[in-house]
Structure 1
Amino acid sequence: MSKMISMLEKFRIVEKTGNGNGEGVVNKEKKPEEPILTQKVSDINKQPQSNSHELKPSNREDNKSGFERMNYDKNKSIEEIYAAYELENSNINTIFMLGNFINALPENLPYAVHKASVMNIINASNTNINILMSDGERRLKALNEFARDYNNAVTSTIYKHKEEINKLKQMIDYYEEEILAKQKMLEEQNNIIKYETQRINNIMSFFKKEE
């Protein structure tokens, strides 16, 4: 048992206790806290306003914010990402409104005519293009930030799992060597006993023979 504990300590599966008796306790490594997205985006006002919206720092632990702590145990939909950054998933007063204006016109129009027509639609609808473009910039920033954090979190988890696999492989290699050594030792011991048994039987059989 002490040898088993020693091996577990060797591979850092258990830690030594202070009582010196060789017993150990399981070293339960805490999962790293998943990175927390630290930015949020102001809601887009329904009416045109000045271009003053920026990503604002957010406390994900604050219940009043309506946020949940972001985790990376599965893939997120675009809707979930936008919700985490308080970006409205809508075609109204967002960058996607401009996309609708663009798609409303025939694609075969010359670019200059197409763009001029879209601008006419924007002006006629009393839409502030700067606000909508700013919304697009905020979405790009949020998506890039989320992609970075997601990549870091998942890559870190993969690395930790690989470390654990390497430790387990080392233990497997050790025990395979131990098995071979014990099998050889058992064979040798059996041969020793077999030889001695045969020697004794030969002596005893000498006196048991009838003349």
Structure 2
Amino acid sequence: MLCYYCAMLTIGLTGGIATGKSSVAAFLAELGAEVIDADQLARDAVAPGTASLQRIVELFGQQALQPDGSLNRQAVRELVFNEPDRRQQLEAILHPAIKELALQQIEQARIRGSRVVVYMAPLLIEAKATDRVDEIWVVTVRPEVQLERLMARDGCSRPQAEQIIAAQMPLAEKERFGVVVIDNSSSLEETRHQVEAAWQQRIGS
């Protein structure tokens, strides 16, 4: 349990696609945590004019850009989906840039006197970014629930959803890293109860 007067606790919140990480992060924010979203940092890292965006254009060409000069995420996603080598090249550009922004924001939260920071990062484990956090919380769901939610959210077919999920680290493997595992298979109210119980156990009132 975190002592109120002790150092800030940084929680790494992760999980698979369509498991409900944002919902859990919102519940944690209601309890008083400051949330840092790695997906937003990833967008900031490749904003027009950044060195990271320029390197991506050098790697993939002008097809990586939208007409307004911003990153064409869908095009890049398609370019690397079945190309492990190109995916690694992309990650070698993105991950260091995201890490720098994440560490800056975590330090700023520390300076502000934040008690608990939640670093929400879908690829926290895969990107070997666990050293940025004090403990890991994993959001999981039953496989069929994940599949149905992904299809409903993204409007993709079942085979497409299965392919997307299969390309990720299995949820069961991620769960092994978690000090806390939140099962978001049921209602949001049930998930809220789990989050509140975990907060009480790990952090206190």
TM > 0.5: no
Q: Which has the higher contact order (CA 8 A, sep 6+)?
A: 2
Query: Which structure's CA Rg is the greater one?
Result: 1
Q: Which has the higher strand share?
A: 2
What is the TM-score normalised by the length of structure 2?
Answer: 0.23
What is the TM-score normalised by the length of structure 1?
Answer: 0.22
